Structure 1
């Protein structure tokens, strides 16, 4: 009997060792969890810390994302949306914190267009110790508002809305404001801002066709008009993708009528001489469509993203700005163009691009180049996202 008791003790001891090993391995696996991009959470965390130190400015109450390298700080609603999105996605993945998100949210609240208009003024510049918008700058840029609204939804899902800030109310109010001021009533597509009237009311910033957001807005608010915006965004992306063998789209296009007729904008019509080319706005499209596929398995988003990947697969390097026929406009490389392609390649499993550009996302975040650094940070975090 004594022998049998020792035998069982040995078996139990072995089981304890196996269970302990399994638990330890699970903890280890969690600590080195890889994202969709195959990059460890520790690497993403390290990049986030670099980005946060380089670009977040402000005080204990409000923070903003500094977009320039001058002594007088400047920021944009685009940057504020990015900062809020980065912070809450970092928190979802075990780093980043609610206090920082709240500071960024407070800055947004202080720079809404008016008490009755929840859209954010598109630019502020440091004057003495204050960040100030001119009268002309108290208009909106739709891309910033879309990211702010989506980040508030993520914050509500992460922390709830019973604390100091009611994320849910702010999200719903902003989404309603976007619907009222920034959605074209005829096409159901996003305008470029609340100021876009007359000849510019049909202009669409192609990178604003963020199907993943519109699906979420519809679900979150129970407002079916956002489903129409999502569907028309998908139709427009498909049309634009099919226009050129490259799959490239211009920074801005004109879309009109119930049939969503597409026309080309002119250079300098909205923002720059590259308005009718694949420039610093359209470079975000591979990220936006891949994100929709990652979360929702949209076949349209997959088709659009795959075609873009095939174009970039044929290029010796990814440079900044292309004509829609695929001719390089510039010869320099820029992470704002390459990082979205790398993320898309990972999501859509383009092995050629994955192998060729595997170091793009892990190159240390630069400290003096806001836009490409922030796009790099966003796609790193998107790779670890889920619903």
Structure 2
């Protein structure tokens, strides 16, 4: 009788194991090579979404919508480009290619990525950097120096190439790794002021006399340093933080940075000194340095921003402030909400962070002016939902689960052992 009970117990255990096997096989498991990455950031908060599955589905839908409006082959010379909107006659700026490439690689859309990058290469200038302004008919503009480079664009393009190399490898028709290393070298040679490490706003102008804090991307530079072995990029990251420390002498503790300034944190001649449509990106780029590398300077700067904007709540965010904190424009739009949500990822105020997430999802700009704000919105949504990992850390989900084949092998091995034990005891 004792043996019978033992055998019945083993049979029940086998059935239970089979049940676990059936339930544990993913029915619709998203690839870790695309959204959702759901990668746990090394520091701070990983996601401020209330429901991660809903967030991932929302992101995929938003990508398809953004792609349908922004990615076009018209006037792209046989490739694809990112078009702006009706307000600018559907032209192209290099900034948009940086955004488009980051989005394409994060959504695992290699075909779009390759076409966009070939368009980028077709518009390299003599310094091996992208012309910053091209009209809808594929002509580089002349009235505004469109043949020069805008540093923020090329630094985003370089990071996207590193993502591509790590995600897809570089053995295909585009050697992403080599392209990234060449571009990073060109950026250092032409967009960093030698001797001071100040990030220039372009390859043909700026430096200590004028720089743009919203271009500062210290996490990018640390990735460049690790990826290429060129540790001079760490000094560029440090200089960015030093300039922001200088700005703090003038911003009354708000955490706000100006659109433009000198390396001493003062107003640059002929340039705007308020927190407006350039400066809004500062929190997004800076918070990522805390998430990826745990830089205490990034946390302090983003905590200050979060504290400042919490005073009016997520719905009270406007589109123009003096750096001392006086609001002078109340337009509430995606260009300003998403980057504040990104700044909240350092974990200073989680209740406000949750509020910001909901507002970022809710606020989408009118399509007539839709390019800029909706691009920033989607980029920040990726980041604040845990879908913008450090490319050098890999793309493993938070809770990596075995593939169905691996699960099958493990279950069959366990069943074999149980069967052997069952017959041994008969």
- TM (normalized to structure 2)? 0.79
Partner of 1:251: 259
2:238 — aligned with what? 231
CA deviation vs aligned residue, 1:335-378 (integer Å, no higher than 9, x gap): 11111111222442522422433322323754441100000011
Match of 2:304 among 298, 304, 307: 307
Asked whether the 8 Å contact 2:114–2:174 carries over to 1, the reply is yes
Alignment of 1:137 onto 2:146: yes
- The secondary structure found in structure 1 opposite 2:128 is strand
> Of the candidates 112, 133, 148, which is equivalent to residue 123 of structure 1?
133
- The question of 1:101 aligning with 2:108 is answered no
State the match for 2:397 in structure 1. Answer: none
* Range with greater deviation from structure 2 (299-308 or 140-149): 140-149
Structure 1 distance, partners of 2:307, 2:149, is: 35
Kept in 2: contact 1:184–1:202 (CA 8 A):
no
Is the Cα–Cα contact under 8 Å of residues 253 and 263 in structure 1 kept in the other structure? yes
**Structure 1 residues 157 and 374 mapped into 2: Cα distance closer, same or farther (>3 Å)?**
same
Rounded Cα–Cα distance in structure 2 between residues aligned with 1:52 and 1:144 = 18
Equivalent residues of 2:247, 2:266 under 8 A apart: no
Tell me how far 1:27 sits from its aligned partner. Answer: 5.0
What CA deviation, in whole Å up to 9, does each residue of 1:125-178 have, x standing for no partner? 023xx4443383111111111111111111111111110101111111111111
Match of 2:286 among 282, 285, 289: 289
Output the CA distance in 2 between the equivalents of 1:253 and 1:105. 31
Structure having greater relative contact order (Cα 8 Å, sep ≥ 6): 2
Higher-strand-fraction structure? 1
Whether contact under 8 Å (2:318, 2:332) holds in the other structure is yes
Local SS of the residue matching 1:377: helix
Partner of 2:91: 74
Q: Which runs of 5+ in 1 are unaligned?
A: 92-96, 256-260
Between 3-12 and 376-385, report the one with greater CA deviation: 3-12
1:21-170 matches, cutoff 5 A:
21-24=23-26, 27=29, 36-38=47-49, 39=52, 40-58=55-73, 61-69=78-86, 72-91=89-108, 97-114=109-126, 117-127=127-137, 130-134=138-142, 136-170=145-179
SS in 2 for 1:329: strand
Contact 1:209 1:237 in 2 (8 A): no
Q: 1:65 to 1:309 in 2, by over 3 A?
A: same
Counterpart CA distance in 1 for 2:37 and 2:224 is: 29
Instruction: Assess, with a 3 A threshold, how the Cα gap between structure 1 residues 6 and 33 changes in structure 2: closer, same or farther.
Output: farther
Q: Deviation at 1:204?
A: 1.1
- Cα 1:181–1:32, aligned 2, differ >3 Å: closer, same or farther? closer
Bigger Rg over Cα: 2
Query: Over aligned residue pairs, what C-alpha RMSD do you find?
Result: 2.5
Q: Which ranges of structure 2 fall in alignment gaps of 5 or more residues?
A: 39-45, 391-426
- Asked whether the 8 Å contact 1:290–1:348 carries over to 2, the reply is no
Q: Choose from 178, 195, 214 the match for 2:221.
A: 214
- Distance in 1 (CA, whole Å) between partners of 2:273 and 2:215 is 15
